[in-house]
């Protein structure tokens, strides 16, 4: 098995990586969103969710 970051052979202590550095590089990619799956939702999906949230908040309040 090779390291998914640099393609060197893996080391058991850092598997599936070859070193702590490559493990940290991979973690940084996850944290920065480099591995995010592209959305197929319309651009205004967040706005629609905000509206639904506001409507449900309003309906739970007493009149």
Q: Is the pLDDT of residue 3 over 70?
A: yes
- Is 27 within the bounds of a domain? yes
11-59 pLDDT tens trace: 999 999 999 999 999 999 999 989 888 777 666 666 777 777 766 655 5
Residue 62 sits at φ, ψ, to 5 deg, of -70, 150
Place of tokens 């893996």: 10
The residue range of the domain holding 17 is: 1-37
DSSP code string of 19-57: SHHHHHHHHHHHHHTTTPPPP-S-TTHHHHHHHHHHHHH
Which two tokens mark 22? 């490559």
Please give the residue that has the higher pLDDT: either 45 or 8. Answer: 8
CATH code of 30's domain: 3.30.50.10
SS3 of 59, please?
Answer: helix
pLDDT for the residue numbered 61: 55
Say if residue 2's pLDDT is above 90: yes
Give how many domains the chain has, as a whole number. 1
In a domain, 60, yes or no: no
């Amino acid at each position: 098995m090779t390291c998914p970051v640099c393609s060197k052979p893996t080391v058991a202590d850092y598997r599936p990586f070859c070193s702590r550095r490559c493990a940290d590089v991979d973690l940084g990619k996850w944290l920065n969103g480099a591995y995010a799956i592209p959305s197929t939702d319309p651009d205004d999906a967040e706005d629609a969710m905000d509206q639904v949230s506001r409507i449900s908040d309003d309906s739970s309040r007493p009149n």
